[in-house]
A and B are shown apart, each in its own frame.
Chain A
């Protein structure tokens, strides 16, 4: 596997279900990101993990719960979602360091989520 992979690629769930999205990066990066892409809206940054620690939570509802067990894996746990949460969820990774600007973010193929 190369680059950034995401599973599943498609997910349909009911509002009472609990599911998880998985992201894995094979680039040796130390920072990972979750983005939400809804129709007709710009990509929205949801969470940032740097060196396995969450450094950004962009006012995301608590029904989205991220987990980063190591610098290569990132999960997004979903529970009691709403139909408006239906979107493409994209994971990205980059190599970060303290101080100035750092490397480019590389994206996975995304998980297309539909909430019924």
Chain B
């Protein structure tokens, strides 16, 4: 069975500090996708990144960076120079195919609540 573990339930850092959110996954599939979503207080899940299991290159997008390591089944997310607007719950998710139509079934972690202290 697929599983996503976000061991950090809550993290608080002072503004401008760097912070890393951990994500560890389990799957028997050889082909899969990993995701990060951000959920601000408004409730909407905002898509941040999608990563193919065959692409282990790290990615950087502005202050955000992601470290994908297949050897440790981890897909960690780092925010550099954090800002108050980064305060949200962050979810890591894993997908597999659930039907002949190719629907993705997302397995979510329980989320990490990040609070940036001004």
Contact = CB atoms under 8 A, between A and B. Distances in A.
A and B pair up = yes
B52 to A, nearest CB: 8
Interface stretch (A12-20, A37-45, A60-68, A72-80): A37-45
A55 B104 contact: no
A48 B91 CA distance: 20
Interface residues of A, number: 30
A50 B110 contact: no
A56 B105 contact: yes
A99 B102 contact: yes
Contact of B101 (A45, A96, A107, A109): A96
B106 to A, nearest CB: 6
Interface in A10-62: 31, 40-43, 45, 48, 50-51, 55-56
A100 interface: yes
A12 to B, nearest CB: 16
Interface bin, chain B:
20 to 34
A42 B111 CA distance: 7
Given A43-B91, A101-B95, A107 B103 contact: no
Given A101-B104, A109-B43, A110-B44, A48 B109 contact: no
Contacts of A92: 45
Interface of B: 4, 31, 33, 35, 37, 42-47, 50, 91, 95, 97-111
16 contacts: A42-B108, A45-B106, A48-B103, A50-B103, A55-B99, A55-B101, A96-B102, A96-B103, A97-B102, A98-B100, A99-B102, A101-B97, A105-B47, A107-B45, A107-B46, A107-B47
